[in-house]
Amino acid sequence: MMDDMIQKYWTGETNIQEELSLKKDAPYRQDEDQEYFKLLSDFNAIEPSENMLQPLWNEVEKPKTTKVTRLRPKTWLRAASMVVAISLAGWYWQSQHSARSYTDTEVRLAYEQTKLSLAVLSNKLNNNAQLSTQNLAKFSSTQKRIQK
């Protein structure tokens, strides 16, 4: 009977009267749950009072107040002048670079120059690839001679 009630307690199915009876019978029980229910009955015996927490509150450190300092007018002026200077520099740079428009001939010329430089780069890479395959062939033939 008591084991069934303990099982119900651990699954959360007991009512208040059953839990009270488990706490009352805890000192007379002889199993692993004895100490748990004994502690519960001991905690229930404590009557909370208003001054019970007062010693703990006295030990808690009070937050320290810090002095609020104001920024000097020179600091505000420096910060504002930096923001204005950076904004003007950005505006000037944007106006210089976005105002330029290119003609069709300039665009075609730039395209042809880019195409030519990419072709030269491709040719160089292909030559290096052929040289590396030739070097690999020489290496493998040398390796075969050494192994014989």
Domain boundaries, the chain: 2-46, 110-148
Q: What does the block give as tokens for 18?
A: 């059953």
Q: What are phi and psi of 120, to 5 degrees?
A: -60, -45
Task: State the average pLDDT over residues 120-147.
Answer: 78
Among the listed residues 109, 127, 107, the one whose alpha carbon sits nearest the alpha carbon of residue 119: 127
Q: What is the pLDDT of residues 80-118, one digit of tens each?
A: 888 889 999 998 888 777 656 778 898 899 999 999 999
Integer Cα distance of 60 and 71 in angstroms = 33
Residue 124 confidence class, pLDDT cut points 50, 70, 90: confident
